[in-house]
A = this chain, B = another copy of it.
Amino acid sequence: MIPGRPVAVSGARFRVVYRVAERIAASEKEALDRAREIAVEQTVEFPIALLPPGELRDRIVGAVEDLDRAPAGWRATISYAVETASFELTQLLNVAFGNSSLTPGVRLERLDLADALLRAVPGPRFGRAGLRAALGVPRRALLGTALKPLGLSATALAELAYQFAFGGIDLIKDDHGLTNQPFAPFEERVARCVGAVERANRETGQRAIYAPNVTAVGDETIRRARFAKAAGAGALLIAPGLAGLGLLAQLAADATLGLPILSHPAFQGSYVIGPESGISPAALFGQIARLAGADGSIYPNVGGRFSLSEAECRSIATATAEDLGPIRPSFPVPGGGMRLERIPELLAFYGNDVILLVGGGLFQAGPDLLENCRAFRQMIEEREDR
C-alpha cells in the first residue's frame, strides 16, 4: 500500500477515444480489460490492487466510460480528471497517449477536451478569420507554396519568393528542409525573402506573406521566430515533430510574436501511418495541431506522394473547424505532391476554407513560373464565384 492521499480533484474530466484492435482483443471482455489497462497506464501506472481506496482509485485512475464495436476492433472512451493533465499541452498529450503509444493495437482516435483544458492550451492566435484578414482575402481559397530546393542561395530563394508573390500566391513558406544551412543562412534568407515579398506586394497591391521555417533546437526556435518577426515576416513555419509540440504552443501563446503559424508534419508520419497503432490523422493534424496553436496544419493530401486516404483527409479538415469552444478554427493545408491540374478537384473537395499548397507542381506546370502562379490563382478565383 502506498502512503498519503491525493488532494481533491474538481470532478471535471476530459475524454479520449481509443481504437483497440481486434487482434489484441477478440472479445468484448478482452476489450474491456485492455481499456482498463490503458486507463491505469495513462495515469497512476501502478498496480491497482496496491492503491488505497478513495480518490486515487476512484478519480485519478482513468475511467472507462464507453466501449463499442468498431471496424476491426473496439472503440473505447476513457475519461481522466482534468488535473492529471496539469493544464499544459505536453502533459495533456502524455495522459492521452504517452505510454500507450508503445502498445501495438491501441490507437488514439480523438480528444474530447473539457473547458478547463481548452482554456489552458493556446489554440490558433489568428485562426481562419484572422489569417484571411491578414491576407486581405475574405472568401476564396488561399494559395500556398514552398521555397525550394534546399541548396539554393538566399538570393535565389528570394528571387523565387518575389515571383511567387508577384504571381499571386498568398502564403510563401520555406521548405521545411531550409533551416540554417551555409547555402542560405537563416537570417540572410529571412531578410532577403521578406524584402522580396514586400517589393512584390508594393507592385501588386496585394498582401502576400512569407513564412520562414523556425524549426530548430530548443529555444533557438524562439530566437529565430523573434528574428523573423523583427525582420517583417508575416507568418512562421514550424515542424512540431522536430522542434516539439510544446514549442509550437509557446510560439502561439507568445503575444509579443503575434504571427500566424503553419505546422508541418515532418517526422510525425510514424504516428499516423500505422493503421492499428499511433494517432489518427484527424487527431494529430486536425485536433492536436490546432490545440497547440497552428493557424494552418500541413498534411499530405490523398493522391500525392504519401499515404492518407480521402476519408482521413476529410476527417482532418473537419477537425480543423469542429466546435472547440474558445479555440479558433484553423485551416487545413493539404500538400505533398499536389499538381495544378488537381486544383478543381481539391476545391470541390475542401471548398474555400483551405490553403492549397503546391510546391514542385508549380514548376512542373510549364516553363514560366510566373505564368504557372497566375494559372494557379486563376483556378482559385474561378471557383470563388461559384
Supposing A2-B152, A277-B274 touch, asked if A101 and B217 sit within 8 A by C-beta, the answer is no
B88 and A179 contact, CB distance less than 8 A: yes
Contact for A266 among B94, B149, B278, CB less than 8 A: B94
Q: Quick check: which of A3-11, A136-144, A322-330 contacts chain B, the rest being far away? A: A3-11
Q: Which of A198-222 contact B (CB under 8 A)?
A: 215-222
A183 and B7 contact, CB distance less than 8 A: yes
Smallest beta-carbon distance A110→chain B, Å: 16
B46 and A363 contact, CB distance less than 8 A: yes
Residue-wise, chain A 9-35 has the 8 Å CB interface mask toward B (1 for contact) of 000000000000000000000000000
A159 and B2 CA atoms in complex are apart in Å by 10
Supposing A84-B181, A269-B99 touch, asked if A221 and B246 sit within 8 A by C-beta, the answer is yes
Q: Quick check: which of A70-78, A226-234, A235-243, A343-351 contacts chain B, the rest being far away? A: A235-243
Question: Does A378 interact with chain B (Cβ within 8 Å)?
Answer: no
Question: Does A89 interact with chain B (Cβ within 8 Å)?
Answer: yes
Q: Which of A324-378 contact B (CB under 8 A)?
A: 336, 359-360, 363-364, 367
Contact for A270 among B220, B222, B270, CB less than 8 A: B270
Report chain B residues within 8 Å CB of A318: none
A101 and B50 contact, CB distance less than 8 A: no
Smallest beta-carbon distance A250→chain B, Å: 3
Smallest beta-carbon distance A351→chain B, Å: 25
Report chain B residues within 8 Å CB of A274: 270, 273-274, 277-278
A216 and B88 contact, CB distance less than 8 A: yes
B60 and A217 contact, CB distance less than 8 A: no
Residue-wise, chain A 175-193 has the 8 Å CB interface mask toward B (1 for contact) of 1110111110000000000
Contact for A153 among B4, B157, B239, CB less than 8 A: B4
B246 and A150 contact, CB distance less than 8 A: no
Smallest beta-carbon distance A90→chain B, Å: 4
Contact for A90 among B42, B156, B216, CB less than 8 A: B216
Q: Quick check: which of A127-135, A164-172, A299-307 contacts chain B, the rest being far away? A: A299-307
Q: What are 24 inter-chain pairs, A to B, with CB distance below 8 A?
A: A2-B149, A2-B363, A3-B156, A45-B150, A45-B359, A47-B360, A60-B149, A83-B182, A84-B177, A88-B216, A90-B217, A90-B242, A90-B243, A91-B181, A95-B177, A101-B266, A101-B268, A102-B269, A103-B307, A104-B307, A219-B219, A220-B250, A243-B244, A244-B245
Question: 9 closest pairs, A vs B, by CB?
Answer: A244-B244, A4-B156, A218-B250, A102-B269, A101-B269, A98-B266, A44-B149, A60-B151, A6-B151
